[in-house]
Structure 1
Amino acid sequence: MSTAPLAAFTEPDRPKDLLIRFITVGGSYVDVTGPGEHSDKNRWSCHGCGDSSQLIQGDFLFCIRPDANTHATTCRAIPLK
């Protein structure tokens, strides 16, 4: 087991339409962006691995929130910038 300290990463700029930001296990961030709770145009994207919502048109917040959180709990990619 390594005793090296974890690297500290700088939080990326927050987009104006940011609804939720999750931190990943790799120290990156998953952003949920869009118009809000009652819109089907919300999306999530990961700053670490580049993965994003599968639906091009987006989804309602109550549907997309669990997907973004699940991705954040499993993504080990670190931010490269």
Structure 2
Amino acid sequence: MPTDTSAFTEPDRPANLQIRFLTVGGSYVDVTGPGYSSSKHRWNCHGCKERSDFPEQDHLRRIRSGANDHAGLCRAIPLS
């Protein structure tokens, strides 16, 4: 019988999900928005509930690094 490697369930994927990162705490950081050429993206951590500050100014290529940096540091575990 296969063993599940994660104690946490991946949250539903929103329709506008562009990228999902796994945090060191086992949660997820979602980058959402309308697509590559738009400047209206945001990232949201499912563990600690932190979010990007200026989604109206963030192109996907720019916000990706912030979301990835947060995922590499966040140790919060998902509570639901």
TM-score (norm 2): 0.90
Moved over 6 A (4+): none
Kept in 2, the 8 Å contact 1:43–1:58? The answer is no
Paired position in structure 1 for 2:14: 15
Structure 2: unaligned runs, 5 residues or longer:
none
Give, in whole Å, the separation in 2 of the partners of 1:60 and 1:7. 31
* Paired residues for 1:2-81 under 5 Å: 8-81=7-80
> Where does structure 1 lack aligned partners over 5 or more consecutive residues?
1-5
Q: What is the count of residue pairs matched by the alignment?
A: 76
CA contact (8 A) 2:18 2:35 kept: yes
* Distance (Å, rounded) in 1 between the aligned partners of 2:70 and 2:57: 16
Q: CA deviation at 1:58?
A: 4.4
CA deviation vs aligned residue, 1:9-58 (integer Å, no higher than 9, x gap): 00000000000000000000000000011100111000000001111424
Alpha-carbon distance in structure 1 between the residues aligned to 2:67 and 2:73: 10
User: Pairwise CA RMSD of aligned residues?
Assistant: 1.3
Checking the alignment, whether the CA contact within 8 Å between 2:27 and 2:77 is kept in structure 1 is yes
Q: How many Å separate the matches in 2 of 1:58 and 1:49?
A: 23
